[in-house]
């Protein structure tokens, strides 16, 4: 999997939307935790299907 990408969009009204791509599971939330804390109160948290996909590791036996 490639490196995760964080996209931050700010509306003219000052609302901030943070999206993460290239990361699955709770690690996505870990990537944005500091950003969310710096910005203040979170008003919505929508998980994408990618969030619910489990990380897979390729192990050879």
Q: For residue range 5-60, what is the model confidence (pLDDT) as tens digits? A: 999 999 999 999 999 888 888 888 888 899 989 988 888 888 888 888 766 555 55
User: 48 lies in which domain range?
Assistant: 5-52
Q: What is the pTM of this model?
A: 0.69
What is the per-residue pLDDT for 57?
54
Give residues with Cβ within 8 angstroms of 26, minimum separation 6. Answer: 51
* 43 occurs within a structural domain: yes
pLDDT for 60 equals: 56
| Number of domains comprising the chain | 1
Give a yes or no: residue 9 inside a domain.
Answer: yes
Task: Please name the residue that has the structure tokens 């950003």.
Answer: 35
Dist CA 10 CA 5 (whole Å): 17
Q: How confident is the model at residue 1 (pLDDT cuts 50, 70, 90)?
A: low
- The pLDDT, as a whole number, for residue 10 is 93
3-state secondary structure of 38: helix
Query: In this structure, is residue 32 part of a structural domain?
Result: yes
Alpha carbon distance 23, 1 (integer Å): 8
């Amino acid at each position: 999997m490639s490196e995760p990408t964080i996209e931050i969009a700010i509306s003219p009204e000052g609302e901030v939307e943070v999206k993460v791509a290239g990361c699955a599971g709770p690690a996505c939330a870990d990537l944005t935790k500091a950003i969310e804390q710096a910005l203040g109160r979170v008003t919505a948290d929508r998980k994408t299907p990618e969030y619910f996909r489990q990380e897979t590791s390729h192990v050879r036996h």
